[in-house]
Amino acid sequence: QSVLTQPPSVSGAPGQRVTISCTGGSSNIGAGHDVQWYQQLPGTAPKLIIYGNTNRPSGVPDRFTGSKSGTSASLAVTGLEAEDEADYYCQSYDNSLSGGDVVFGGGTKLTVL
């Protein structure tokens, strides 16, 4: 059972907009900890696409947008492209364990129809 909750799957047609939610609690996202998002293609290492809730590393298209409010965060992907089909994970930190432990969502499979 993951500390952060994500929907198992989302889908959208090319060109459409989809959002992936990440719900936490008062000891992690709600405590003010930053949220990161990773994209993982089959057989490859996770790739950072959003850090510090809203920041994109260089090279990540601006079609990917992160937001955070209260105990939740979201990743929006606009102008869906076939290459966006992948697994997406949210990640934050939690106060309730040994102090600043890394916590993940269970992952969301994005399918481009």
Partner 1 sequence: EVQLVESGGGLVKPGGSLTLSCAGSGFTFSNAWMSWVRQGPGKGLEYIGQSKTKAGGGTTDTAAPVKGRFIISREDSQSTLYLQMNSLKTEDTAVYYCTTILYDSPSGSYRPYWGQGALVTVSS
Q: Which residues bind partner 1 (CB under 8 A)?
A: 2, 34, 36, 38, 45-46, 48, 51-53, 55, 57, 89, 91, 97-98, 100-107
Nearest CB to partner 1, comparing residues 13 and 58? 58
Q: How far apart are CA 21 and CA 19, in angstroms?
A: 6
Nearest CB to partner 1, comparing residues 80 and 89? 89
Residues in the chain: 113
Contact 33, 71 (CB under 8 A): no
CB of 28 to partner 1, least distance (A): 12
CB of 85 to partner 1, least distance (A): 17
Q: How far apart are CA 65 and CA 81, in angstroms?
A: 15
CB of 106 to partner 1, least distance (A): 5
CB of 12 to partner 1, least distance (A): 22
Q: Count other C-beta atoms under 10 Å from residue 70's C-beta.
A: 10
Element (H, E) at 12: strand 9-12
Nearest CB to partner 1, comparing residues 93 and 112? 93
Nearest CB to partner 1, comparing residues 102 and 113? 102
Beta bridge partners of residue 62, listed in sequence order? none
The two structure tokens encoding residue 33: 């900890």
